[in-house]
Amino acid sequence: MKPLVTREYRTVSYVSGPLIFIERPMRISYGEVVSIILPDGEERTGQVLDISREVAVVQVYEGTSRVDDRDTRVRFTGDPPRIDVSIEMLGRIFDGLGRPRDGKPPVLPEEQPDIGGMPINPYARDKPADFVQTGVSAIDGLNTLVRGQKLPIFSGAGLPANRLAAQITRQSRVLDEEGNFAVVFAAMGITWQEASFFMQEFESTGALERVIFFLNLADDPTIERIATPRCALTAAEHLAYTHDLHVLVIMTDMTNYCEALREISTAREEVPGRRGYPGYMYTDLSSLYERAGRITGRRGSITQVPILTMPDDDITHPVPDLTGYITEGQIVLSRDLFRRGIDPPIDVLPSLSRLMSLGIGPGKTREDHRNVSDQVYASYAYGRDLRRLVAIVGEEALTDLDRAYLTFAEQFENQFVSQRGENRSIEQTLGIGWDLLAGLPVDELKRIGPEMIQRYHPALREETP
């Protein structure tokens, strides 16, 4: 899709951070791709951010070092950024701009879509519905993931988000259905070590040939990170909507992505929003996260698990905050639980799956799922409150009942949340929930109807063979 005439300029007038400014551009289109040819022949890629009669502003993905204002040539392609996509991408590794990084030849494109994507017409969306069993109790039991959902992991520096993401990827399955899945992995600014952890994970489970990697590592150009998730999602859409696959997209680390966004905004001297991030970051993040979902009449789906690091463990920081406003819930990791050896250290109180009710209940998981989840949650929340009280007044001041709640909270963390590498079925998860609830007096189980208690309470249920 090369335009007939390419237009080349040598009028770089100004360079600032990742941006170059080109004077007197003619008929440049907003958002088009630009090749920047350095004096030594090196070719870089950029994209037009702003055009006027006097100047065009171009962001250079690989950065502007060694760009000069005399010999650097800028060639406009007339085309938005596109990527070659194909089912053959499975098992391959690409860089952050979608070029092969594994030494193998480029893929033969089946399509060359614009990486910006187009918004799904809300009327064409189909409700996410299928329960995804991740094998992780804190997720399956209390914050259920549903196919087509976007459910991020909010992590802190040094917390084992990658391990959890790998575990979810390894264990996830939709009950009563196999095959037809693929994983698209987008790395933005993570270390080689982190990336190779994922590769080894996928390799050891034999899933490597179902994965497409897009790697922009810590020492790769930062601005390229703007394009990486877009390339990944474009490939995912191709797999989902052309090849009917159920695609899980893991994007890590969104905080690095947002920093790249901030860098460009600063270079453009825009009015900064909170903590220097641009005011349009919500809209920008939406243009990624909203690419998750299902579409009526199409068989494939896109489920997203973005990972982000909360700077200073602060959930109100703009990156987790804006993400939480867009995604359909969040899984929050806690430093406190991590220190106490809970693995995975998921704090269920601030965690949420907004689509949970679509994926659970009779015919999907089990009839008592909602009740058990509400009850476990409420009891744990109460137990946690008591902990704070105990810190002040001491345990002696508590009633027997309150002590039972303290124990519940303790056991909940150690037995329900903490499971190390174990892969639990939803029955196992709910079973553990019931076993813990049995430590509380039956009348305390206000969120569970009497019939359910009869049927499932370990001390009351009729023995089933």
Partner 1 sequence: MLEGEVIRVSGPVVHAGGMRGSRMYDVVRVGDGALTGEVIRLDQEVAVIQVYEDTTGLKTGEVVENTGEPLRVELGPGLLASIFDGVQRPLPLLVKKSGDFISRGITISALDHTRRWEFEPSVQVGAVVGPGDVLGTVREFNLDHRVMVPPDLHGTVEEVAEGALTVDDAAVRLDGDRPVRMSQAWPVRKGRPYGRKLDPTIPLLTGQRIFDTLFPIAKGGTAMIPGGFGTGKTVSEQTLARWADAHVVVYIGCGERGNEMTDVLTEFPELLDPRTGRPLLERTIMIANTSNMPVAAREASIYTGITMAEYYRDQGYDVALLADSTSRWGEALREVSGRLEEMPGEEGYPAYLAARLAAFYERAGRTACLGADKRTGSITVVGAVSPPGGDFSEPITQNTLRIVGTFWALDTNLAYRRHFPSVSWIKSYSLYLESLRDWFTTSVSSDWGRMRDRTMFLLQKEAELQEIVQLVGPDALPESEKAILEITRMVREDFLQQSAYSASDAYCPIVKQFMMLKAILSFYDAAVAAMGRGIPLRQVLALPQKNEIARMKEQLDADAIGDLIGAIEAAASTLEAER
Q: Of these partners, partner 1, ligand ADP, none, which one is at the site of residue 123 (CB under 5 to 8 Å by kind)?
A: partner 1
Shorter beta-carbon distance to partner 1: residue 91 or 117: 117
Encoded one letter per residue, x for contact with partner 1 by CB under 8 A and - for no contact, window 35-64 reads: --------------xxxxx-----------
Which span (96-104, 123-131, 211-219, 333-341) binds partner 1, by CB under 8 A? Answer: 123-131
Q: Is 447 an interacting residue with respect to ligand ADP (CB under 6 A)?
A: no
Shorter beta-carbon distance to ligand ADP: residue 160 or 350: 350
Cβ(454)–Cβ(448) below 8 Å:
no
Site for ligand ADP in 331-360 (CB under 6 A): 352, 354
Cβ(319)–Cβ(189) below 8 Å:
no
* Interface with ligand ADP: number of residues (CB under 6 A): 2
Shorter beta-carbon distance to partner 1: residue 340 or 446: 446
Q: Is 118 an interacting residue with respect to partner 1 (CB under 8 A)?
A: yes
**Binding residue (CB under 8 A) for partner 1 from 176, 178, 219, 443:** 443
Q: How far apart are CA 368 and CA 283, in angstroms?
A: 39
Q: How far apart are CA 46 and CA 63, in angstroms?
A: 9
Site for partner 1 in 227-256 (CB under 8 A): none
Q: Which DSSP letter does residue 415 get?
A: I
Q: Of these partners, partner 1, ligand ADP, none, which one is at the site of residue 186 (CB under 5 to 8 Å by kind)?
A: none
Site for partner 1 in 69-108 (CB under 8 A): 80
Q: Of these partners, partner 1, ligand ADP, none, which one is at the site of residue 126 (CB under 5 to 8 Å by kind)?
A: partner 1
CA torsion sign for 167, 168, 170, 175 is positive
Q: Of these partners, partner 1, ligand ADP, none, which one is at the site of residue 273 (CB under 5 to 8 Å by kind)?
A: partner 1
Own/partner contacts of 101-110, CB < 8 Å, gap of 24 or more, are 101/213, 101/215, 108/84, 109/84, 109/85, 110/85, 110/86, 110/238, 110/242
- At 99, is the secondary structure helix, strand, or coil? coil
Q: How far apart are CA 374 and CA 145, in angstroms?
A: 16
Cα–Cα–Cα angle for 351, 355, 358, rounded to 5 degrees = 140
Which span (9-17, 194-202, 300-308, 395-403) binds partner 1, by CB under 8 A? Answer: 395-403
**Binding residue (CB under 8 A) for partner 1 from 287, 407, 411, 415:** 287
Element at 294 (helix H, strand E): strand 293-295
Q: How far apart are CA 257 and CA 227, in angstroms?
A: 9
List of residues contacting ligand ADP (CB under 6 A)? 352, 354
